[in-house]
Structure 1
């Protein structure tokens, strides 16, 4: 289910939304490595609570495409590469993108609850946790029909949440906010219906 055995061309053709998001994230990350330009991109796009509350709301979205280092972006893009395709297959391209972006925005809004105007964050983690939340909603909607998905995704969700609170420098508000947003949206998108009717 989450094992990718497509070649490069097959992957792009089968999962255009996931492939596009990965490409954009990697391209922007490479741009942030360029002297001067990288500092300008970060200055414009990083999520800073005080600046957002002063009206710079775009930062909630732009921060989703910025990452703080190689390990940060590689971990997030590997998670998107691994778990995104199955959700795109089930939901379709537009619903997948809605889950991804709204979850990232949800994580950004929850981050604003942190009582520190100088709190800054970047990363696609909130959106990726939204993918996990959407899978959680699928399990609720089809609780008796998908034992394989339950065996795989539930431990991943639990471990991811635990690691959120054990690791230093992690925006736990974004993770939990994204997870909750993806779950709620998933409950709306994945109303009970025969599994055979899912997009394939």
Structure 2
């Protein structure tokens, strides 16, 4: 459910919304840092409560897609790749993007109203990503039919790490993280109507890839420990990068 083993082709076909969000993340990152007009894009798009109060309402939306440092964009994009695909399949493309954007916007609205006009500028997809975590929390607690025990333990462990990180770094937008999480959990019952477990959905394969291999399950059992070890090592490294980026 959370360990990605698809090829580039399969990932793009199975999760077009996630793939599109990743393209936007990195395109804006490159534009903001290396291309002409990047400073202007940064100035007019970053979350800034005083500007929102003066009528620049789009700043409640645009920060969801913007990242300033490589550590920031890589960590948030990595989190989206790990935890977004299952929900895109389960909710469907339309419901998923509405849910993702709604939780991100609610996180920024909370930052505006509770942070005050003097709140420092902010940006990043973290509020929306915590919205996904909020949905998973609801699933783990109240829709156990949609997730198995191992994946429940994994997502709750990562959530705990994320919450600890939220309060460790003074430059993190705590309001966005917390209210993204709350919004995701609160909206979950509405978006989970008619949803089936992830394994029940069909997935695209490579054009020449066999859809069934009688030996695949033996191979998966042999490699399960390897994949989990690799996953935790990579995740740990990216958590460190995220902490050092200082811009969540």
- How far is the alpha carbon of 1:151 from its aligned partner? 1.2
Residue in 2 that maps onto 1:125: 126
Residue in 2 that maps onto 1:50: 50
Q: Distance in 1 between matches of 2:61 and 2:196?
A: 35
SS at match of 2:57: coil
SS at match of 1:119: coil
SS at match of 1:168: coil
- How far is the alpha carbon of 1:110 from its aligned partner? 1.0
Residue 188 of structure 1 pairs with residue 168 of structure 2: no
Residue in 1 that maps onto 2:156: 154
Structure 1 residues without counterparts, runs of 5 or longer:
none
Given that 1:45 and 1:62 are in contact with CA atoms closer than 8 Å, whether structure 2 keeps it comes out as: yes
Given that 2:32 and 2:68 are in contact with CA atoms closer than 8 Å, whether structure 1 keeps it comes out as: no
- How far is the alpha carbon of 1:125 from its aligned partner? 0.5
Residue 89 of structure 1 pairs with residue 85 of structure 2: no
Given that 1:138 and 1:187 are in contact with CA atoms closer than 8 Å, whether structure 2 keeps it comes out as: no
Question: Equivalences for 1:32-111 in 2 at 5 Å?
Answer: 32-34=32-34, 36-111=36-111
Residue 15 of structure 1 pairs with residue 15 of structure 2: yes
Normalized against structure 1, the TM-score is what? 0.92
Given that 1:141 and 1:192 are in contact with CA atoms closer than 8 Å, whether structure 2 keeps it comes out as: no
Normalized against structure 2, the TM-score is what? 0.75
Deviates more, 1:132-141 or 1:60-69: 132-141
- In terms of Rg, which structure is larger? 2
- How far is the alpha carbon of 1:187 from its aligned partner? 2.1
SS at match of 2:118: coil
SS at match of 1:18: helix
Deviates more, 1:27-36 or 1:167-176: 27-36
RMSD: 2.0
Structure 2 residues without counterparts, runs of 5 or longer:
203-248
Given that 2:91 and 2:195 are in contact with CA atoms closer than 8 Å, whether structure 1 keeps it comes out as: no
Residue in 1 that maps onto 2:167: 165
Residue in 1 that maps onto 2:178: 176
Q: Distance in 2 between matches of 1:73 and 1:101?
A: 17
